[in-house]
Amino acid sequence: MTGTCTFCGIVAGEIPAEIVYSDEHAVAFLDISQATRGHTLVVPREHCRDLTDIGPDRAGLLMGAAVHTAALLRRALEPGGMNIWHATGPTAWQTVFHFHLHLLPRYTPEDLKRAWTHRDLPLSSLSPLADRIRAAAAS
């Protein structure tokens, strides 16, 4: 799917990128838009659109590559911490529709803004929501 997918083009070597790790299942490269120093994307070699398309086996292999790449980033850059981020769908800010994980080394708490605000709710208020999700598994 290299004709329309930027990440497939990078995996195929048709689009230049700074690749920092690759194996038979995944490729990790520096994001061209560095949110923090060392911001790296980890993508599967096979095209899949998003979290609903990747499947558990391929997701597990990709997570293994992400863990390996995170260790490389930690050794090379010595950040104080790291975030992993994923977005599925335009509403969640997905802009490239090839599954990918963002590894974001963190040097100070102010490097990035929080992605959400916390709202503490009583546990009992979550029961109807949990029931609806469990019902989806049965259908």
Do 84 and 65 form a contact (C-beta atoms < 8 A)? no
DSSP output for 40-77: EEEEESS---SHHHH-HHHHHHHHHHHHHHHHHHHHHH
Q: Report angle CA 30, 34, 40 to the nearest 5 degrees.
A: 30
Element (H, E) at 138: helix 127-138
39, 68, 98, 100: the active-site residue:
100
68 assigned to active site: no
Residue 56 token pair: 């558990």
Q: Which residues are catalytically annotated? A: 100
